[in-house]
Amino acid sequence: MADRATIGNVEISVFVDTAPPPFETSRFFPDVPPEAWAPYKKWLDENGKFRTNFCFFLLRSSGKNILVDSGLGPGPHERFGGATGQLMSHLASKGVKAEDVSTVIITHMHGDHMGWNVMGAGASARPTFPKAKYYIPRGDYEHFSKTNPAYAPLSQATPLLNLGVAQLVEGDFAVTPELKTLYTPGHTPGHLSVVISSAGHKGMIVGDVYHSPAQVSELDWCPGGDINKDDARKTRRKVTQRLADENMTVAASHFWLPDSVGKVVRLDGKTAWKSL
């Protein structure tokens, strides 16, 4: 089990910004009967409840400190018992200050992935990482701006665009010579994963393509939060096949630490998650 990995010359560290208390599986996967979890009990807590983290990733690539996602935010988060985000303290533990971050890649525009993007609100909002360029999925920004202009996570994106420190991206976008985005829609319309290719090794940060290791085997399982479940299933099948075929090291945003880093393997005719 691991909370870090090295892919060629790229170093990845996985951190939990916040984690909600465990809850019933049916609350998150409403279409999956509780008994279907029997083969996957090891991915649940001791009471058979679903557990998840709100993770972010610190990468070192081409001499730069890069964040993939920025957690739920500073809080306090009343719906999670007043918990506060730990992103800044985790960065400090690695000797990284806010001004040391050169790049922030947002996989998708849900609040638990972009909560530390800015500090302050409205006209006073400023980037949390003052020297960083932010990359935000175009498909998500356009979707939420059109369908729900009051959508709260827009406040973590629009100020950055107005200040000229963010760029809307889509498809295969090269962030560094070792990192590029991959369009993986379904959970959200513009969802992006991050592909790592370095020194002959490959990896992927998959965002919310999966929410549980069980989905690596049960490719049709969709959480209630998948906006387009048909697209999510298609994406999950395509990504899962690629991860197994190319023996990629994988980092997943919501797998319970320290099972957040692993590989997709084939066992008995199915794909499965193997933690590193």
Yes or no: say if 28 and 224 are a contact pair by the CB < 8 Å rule: yes
pTM here?
A: 0.97
User: What's the chain's length in residues?
Assistant: 276
Q: What is the spatial distance between Cα 214 and Cα 157, in angstroms, rounded to a whole number?
A: 32
pLDDT at 18: 96
pLDDT at 2: 67
For the chain, which domains are there? 4-275 (3.60.15.10)
In degrees to the nearest 10, what's the CA dihedral of 38, 264, 257, 151? -90
Tokens of 228: 């387009």
Yes or no: say if 51 and 45 are a contact pair by the CB < 8 Å rule: yes
φ, ψ (nearest 5 deg) of residue 161: -65, -40
Q: What is the spatial distance between Cα 77 and Cα 18, in angstroms, rounded to a whole number?
A: 9
pLDDT at 264: 98
pLDDT at 233: 98
Q: What is the spatial distance between Cα 276 and Cα 270, in angstroms, rounded to a whole number?
A: 19
pLDDT at 153: 97
Segments in the chain forming alpha helices (H): 25-28, 87-93, 138-147, 158-163, 214-217, 229-245
DSSP 36: G
pLDDT digit string (tens) for the chain, length 276 residues: 568 899 999 999 999 999 999 999 999 999 999 999 999 999 999 999 999 999 999 999 989 999 999 999 999 999 888 899 999 999 999 999 999 999 999 999 999 999 999 999 888 999 999 999 999 999 999 999 999 999 999 999 999 999 999 999 999 999 999 999 999 999 999 999 999 999 999 999 999 999 999 999 999 999 999 999 999 999 999 999 999 999 999 999 999 999 999 999 998 889 999 999
Yes or no: say if 232 and 221 are a contact pair by the CB < 8 Å rule: no
pLDDT at 47: 96
Going across the sheet that includes 54-61, the strands are: 4-7, 10-18, 54-61, 64-68, 101-105, 133-137, 166-169
Residue in this structure with the two tokens 């379904």, named with its chain if needed: 186
Q: What is the spatial distance between Cα 249 and Cα 187, in angstroms, rounded to a whole number?
A: 21
Yes or no: say if 210 and 226 are a contact pair by the CB < 8 Å rule: no
Yes or no: say if 77 and 43 are a contact pair by the CB < 8 Å rule: no
Amino acid of residue 23: F
In degrees to the nearest 10, what's the CA dihedral of 259, 262, 268, 271? 100
Q: What is the spatial distance between Cα 248 and Cα 242, in angstroms, rounded to a whole number?
A: 8
